[in-house]
């Protein structure tokens, strides 16, 4: 279900009904009521019936301002998303509810996703939501690793950008002290955590590639368990949704938890 499309249609329909009532239907109702009153006395019930708005107009007048505000906020300011997979662990966990800045990379029209105002560009290390290139109706979230023109290589669990190793250092064993995973500090702009399988597992390998103009190379922080640009290629600029900047709630099926509120690095 395309919620953005449904929201745009709801705003358009309620706005159209509201406009038609203001320009055509309401003046007609008042004219008929005034004519009836000039012909004789009307009871309170008759007067109310003549002036009463039809139910579609009543609903449109009530919902149009609310829907319009929701559309503006969701399309141009901030939009909530839920994390459905563990590909961004340990930064983001399954069940995290995040907020995405919709204007950080330029203002885009809802549904069409066409940029109408250039505000900024993704930076290396940003956590970005985008439409999956192979199925644009699905939103993905990964970390920006390669910018247009960058040369990217991933080999032996080491990421190389423009021929230089990305700095990383061992912090501790993985979640629940599992010997199968290692938690590392990695520097891509700012420092963030990245999760790797035990070094004995070679994981995916990738020879050096160049990021084309207008496209981005994305990787999940859970490096050995992420369906990302290493497998399906680059993210076109027109697929960008926004920059994830905060976790505001966690819900894994029980009671919602607000103890995990945090800024996303």
Is 87 a known active-site residue? yes
Task: Give CATH for domain 79-263.
Answer: 2.10.109.10
Going from N- to C-terminal start, the domains of the chain cover 3-76, 79-263
Average pLDDT score, the chain: 90
Rounded distance, CA 241 to CA 40, Å? 62
Percent pLDDT > 70 in the chain is 95
The DSSP H or E segment spanning 30 is helix 26-39
pTM above 0.95, yes or no: no
142 part of the active site? yes
Among 160, 233, 155, 168, CA closest to 194: 168
Which tens digit of pLDDT belongs to each residue from 102-153?
A: 999 999 999 888 899 999 999 999 999 999 999 998 999 999 999 999 999 9
Task: Catalytic residue, from 14, 75, 102, 142: name it.
Answer: 142
Query: What is the rounded CA–CA span in Å between residue 6 and residue 225?
Result: 34
pLDDT-based confidence at 30, cuts 50/70/90? confident
Question: So what's the pLDDT on residue 178?
Answer: 61
Phi first, then psi: what are they for 84, rounded to 5°?
Answer: -95, -10
Among 87, 157, 215, 226, which one carries the catalytic annotation? 87
């Amino acid at each position: 279900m395309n919620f953005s499309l449904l929201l745009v249609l709801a705003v358009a329909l309620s706005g159209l009904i509201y406009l038609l009532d203001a320009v055509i239907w309401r003046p007609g109702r008042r004219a008929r009521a005034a004519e009836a009153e000039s012909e004789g006395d009307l009871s309170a019930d008759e007067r109310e019936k003549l002036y009463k708005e039809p139910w579609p107009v009543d609903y449109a007048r009530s919902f149009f301002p609310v829907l319009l505000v929701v559309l503006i906020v969701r399309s141009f300011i901030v939009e909530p998303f839920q994390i459905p997979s563990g590909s961004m662990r340990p930064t983001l966990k399954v069940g995290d509810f995040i907020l995405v800045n919709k204007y950080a990379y330029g203002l885009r029209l809802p549904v069409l996703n066409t940029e109408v105002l250039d505000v900024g560009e993704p930076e290396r290390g940003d956590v970005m939501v985008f439409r999956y290139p192979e199925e644009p109706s699905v939103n993905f979230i990964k970390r920006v690793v390669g910018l247009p023109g960058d040369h990217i290589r991933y080999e032996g669990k080491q990421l190389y950008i423009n021929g230089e190793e990305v700095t990383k250092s061992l912090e501790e064993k993985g979640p629940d002290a599992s010997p199968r995973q290692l938690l590392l500090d990695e520097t891509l702009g700012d420092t963030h955590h990245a999760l790797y399988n035990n070094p004995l597992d070679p994981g995916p390998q990738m020879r050096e590639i160049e990021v084309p103009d207008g496209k981005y190379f994305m990787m999940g922080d859970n490096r050995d368990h992420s369906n990302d640009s290493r497998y399906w290629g680059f993210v076109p600029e027109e697929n960008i949704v926004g920059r994830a900047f905060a976790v505001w709630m966690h819900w894994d099926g029980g009671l919602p938890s607000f103890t995990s509120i945090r800024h996303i690095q």
